[in-house]
Amino acid sequence: MTFKADLFAGKTALVTGGTTGIGAGIASTLAELGANVIAAGVQSKTHQLPAAHHITVQELDVRDNNAILNVINALPQLDLLINCAGIISREKEHQVDVFENVIDINLTGTLRCCSAARKKLAQSKGCIVNTASMLSFFGGGLVPGYSASKGGIMQLTKSLAIAYAAEGIRVNAVAPGWIATTLTQALQDDPLRAEPILSRTPLKRWGTPADVAKAVVFLCSPAASFITGTILPVDGGYLTA
């Protein structure tokens, strides 16, 4: 029943960072299951989404609180909020301004969206799925901003799960492992960097956006009705190896 064709029929989903990569995979999957999806991102003109009447592409910068409010307030209802907007700036994040920008998008941007959506989600008894990472659990010497933001997502998810529970809003997160997207293309293309990743991953492959999307569907579905505050790794076993 979790993946029945009309699972999200009549539901409205907002996916930030929903125009490329993992976010686009999630937006596409939710639309396939009947949701009316707003895929919001800064790359709205070069999106990676299929033509689908259930998907509306929307320009949105999650650093702009007024823009977030305008998008959410324009919706007649909101049932699902998926926060996927994020950036990584390898080897540059030791610079304070770069660090601050990564935190502002990845972590504070997630809070902005959750806060703006809270009232509508309370009305629909909806749910939120945030995007954590393997670097919610590990440090990353080249990406201190990204690592700090994803560690923050883990604790923000747990905190909001507690804060929003009385309103019937569930808050969870997925923690993707090594997923084949443009964000990891340089790693995929470099055998010296890809080999250690694959050798540590028990399932011996890169994940796909669809792998993450299926986990998001579960967390949004009635099958997860008593699950909140959890961080679900989608990593092929990387964390356990």
**Residue numbers annotated as active site:** 146
Burial class (CB in 10 A: 0-12, 13-18, 19+), 74: exposed
Q: What is the CA radius of gyration of the chain?
A: 17
DSSP string, 33-58: TT-EEEEEETTGGG------TTEEEE
Pairing of strands 12-16, 127-131: unpaired
Q: Which amino acid is at 212?
A: V
Please say whether the dihedral angle defined by the alpha carbons of residues 236, 158, 225 and 12, taken in this order, is positive or negative.
Answer: negative
Closest CA to 86 of 54, 61, 59, 57: 61
Q: Which amino acid is at 58?
A: Q
